[in-house]
Chains A and B, each alone.
Chain A
Amino acid sequence: METYEFVLPSMAMGLGVVIVLFAIFYYVGYRSAKITTTAEDFYAAGYSIGPVANGLAMAATWASLATFMGVIALIYALQAPFVYLWIQWSLSIPLLTLLYGASLRRMKAFTPASFIKVRYGNEAAIISIAWMCLAMVMYALGQMIGLGMAFEVLFGIDYIYALVIVGIATVGFITIGGMYGASYNAAFQMVVMTLAIVVPMGAIMKSMGSAGWWFPPLAYGDMVPGMLERLPDFFDMRYDYRWYFALIPAFTMGPIALPHLAMRIFTSSSVKSARWSVVWFILFLGLLFSGSYTAGFAGNFFTAETGMNIEPADMTIFALNVYYNPAIVAAFVIGGAVAAGLSTIGGNLMAISGLIGSDLMGIIRPKMESKKKMAYGYAALGIGGVAAILLAFNPPAFLVTSILWAFGLLATAVAPSILLGVWWKQTNKTASILSSLVCGIIYIIISPHVLGDIVVGHGLVAALGMSGAMVTVPLAYASLVILSLLFNKMGVTAVDMETKKMVDRIHGWGSDYDEARYNGSIMPAAIVVICVIVFIWGLQPWPG
């Protein structure tokens, strides 16, 4: 079969679009810097972002460079089950808001670690900061490498130069603007991303003769035969039920603890506004994600119709635009991909900034004034960005093996302490520390990325952390419940009255306190029973 290699038709146009976009990002950053005067402004945009802008920013922060570049390769690898995996990402922010986002917004937290610190104390907060920073560095690193590689392929410059140029330009505007800049830039970036994926795809589909060009995200049914010609078993539900179930512990429960997503809730102008942001988030994200599935189908349809394979597969969306659309449109699509990478890096760096500059420095220097807190935030943001660029020169293998794997780590080591801490007064500090450390380390050990000999599952399910999370996530929840009961009975760091009152307060009860509230035995007992079943199921041999 012939190959169709992607070549940018007009480097000047591509560069022009990228320069214009960066100019806008810097302008927004500059304007945002002018209104950033307090720590609340820097870390939470003054708790002022409205629902539409926040919904757009949430979607942009969540949708990474993979939406433009990685999706096609993943469609080839996992086929229809990949689409099911991708669909459930939409649950992240709705679940986060429902289960703890609204409560933490009420206490005006900057990051989930702010809550851990108040709920369990400094030691537990430091551990959760370490886990979350590891995940954020893996995430930002993946985006940084992707942007460097994209610029290398698009503009034909050496990877290291591409990385340094795009890296410094990116860290610059994010550092200037703080959370105001990150929020308004992300909202704008989401508009660019959506237009860049959906509108040109309509023109491509029309050129291909598809009758569904008028609504690319859902009307590509006549491309199905093209997909089946290339991948005849594309729609087969090839895995057993456990594979689909395993998406829940790793990929649904993990992103709940992603600090850059939680921070989007905290920037809302109110708890009610945060809930409406979630509605907009689902609308915009669904449009973008569905557009990316269409791109995958169009790539296969192209191959079926022309007999040419697109190389490299990651560049499919760009190649289709170069083949069917004018050069300026292809350049705009490149701008969309750049926006996708930048919006996620922006979220990652703001999270690192909040975790280090506010939470960690708040532990080291508890009496710090707001101005100082903000200064540390700027410093942490800049240093985090430079570290990501330096790491991307020659990244350690375990950091780039799988960003998705890190979701299972957060689902194991961070999410149980947050969720049970919000919903169950008996959740104990020592139990939280032990459960987080031990189960997190077990998750790392039983993955194929570090030791390699002791692995639960194998192949892709192990590499993505699905099989590992199906063991360690239930272990983390069950151990946290059981150890909490044990330590409270023994009087080891028993939960004090002030902490219990805080639990009532963040649910909206004000100063009204009731010992029986969030203190029952049915919920923890049910969690333990469900977790034991899932844990045993996860330990059963995984089919090859």
Chain B
Amino acid sequence: MKESLYKKELLLTVVFFVVLLFFGHFAQIFVLFPGLQGDPVAGTGMMWGFPVHYIIPVLMGWFGLLAVTIVMALVLNKFDDDMEELAESLEGKGSNKNK
């Protein structure tokens, strides 16, 4: 239980770190893959009147991050509950490895 919670903490931190960077720096996708920008002259690559490589990073940096932070709050707060439960049960047993 302890080991799996520890691994879960590391995994969640790394995953959320990468996902946050991905959403906050979404413009990099359009630099790495310029084909995604489309061709406004040919009528592609536009959304709501903007070039997609402008408006999508704006949306990802706002609503995308909003969704990520909501998931982050839910998942990490649930993780804290599990952690508190475990810590309390360990307090009772007086566990202390490699003291």
Contacts and interface: CB of A to CB of B under 8 A. Distances in A.
A2 B21 CA distance: 43
**Residue among B28, B83, B91 with the highest chain A CB neighbour number at 10 A:** B28
Contact residue range for chain A?
35 or more
B61 A90 contact: yes
Contacts of A514: 2, 6, 97-98
A232 interface: no
Given A244-B27, A252-B24, A283-B66, A512 B90 contact: yes
A90 B6 contact: no
A272 B50 CA distance: 38
B65 A218 contact: no
Contacts of A240: 31
Contacts of B54: 80, 83, 235
A515 B68 CA distance: 32
A293 B58 contact: yes
B53 A91 contact: no
A87 B6 contact: no
Interface residues of B, number: 53
Contacts of A84: 25, 27, 57
Nearest to B52: A235
A272 B99 CA distance: 30
A512 B72 contact: no
The A interface is mostly helix, strand or loop, or mixed, namely helix
A516 B17 CA distance: 23
Interface in A87-105: 87-88, 90-91, 94-95, 98-99, 102
B72 A94 contact: yes
A276 interface: yes
Contacts of B62: 87, 90, 282, 286-287, 289-290
Nearest to B82: A508
Contacts of A372: none
A165 interface: no
B42 interface: no
Contacts of B87: 508-510, 512
B44 interface: no
Contacts of A523: 10
Contacts of B53: 235, 237
A206 interface: no
A517 B6 contact: yes
A271 B80 contact: yes
Contacts of B69: 94, 275, 278-279, 282
Nearest to B12: A98
A99 B17 contact: yes
A508 B78 CA distance: 13
A191 interface: no
Given A224-B49, A244-B28, A290 B2 contact: no
Interface string B71-90: 01100110010011001101
B24 A219 contact: no
A477 to B, nearest CB: 14
Contacts of A52: none
Contacts of B66: 279, 282-283, 286
A513 interface: yes
A156 interface: no
A116 to B, nearest CB: 20
A221 interface: yes
Interface string B26-39: 11101110100100
Given A235-B53, A237-B34, A248-B21, A510 B76 contact: no
Chain A to chain B: the 9 pairs with minimum beta-carbon distance, closest first: A221-B49, A286-B62, A87-B61, A515-B98, A510-B87, A91-B24, A275-B73, A84-B27, A512-B90
Given A224-B49, A512-B87, 10 more contacts: A80-B54, A87-B57, A88-B24, A218-B48, A221-B55, A275-B77, A279-B69, A287-B62, A290-B58, A515-B98
17 contacts: A84-B57, A87-B61, A91-B20, A91-B21, A91-B65, A98-B76, A102-B76, A218-B58, A221-B50, A224-B49, A237-B34, A278-B69, A279-B69, A508-B80, A512-B91, A514-B98, A515-B98
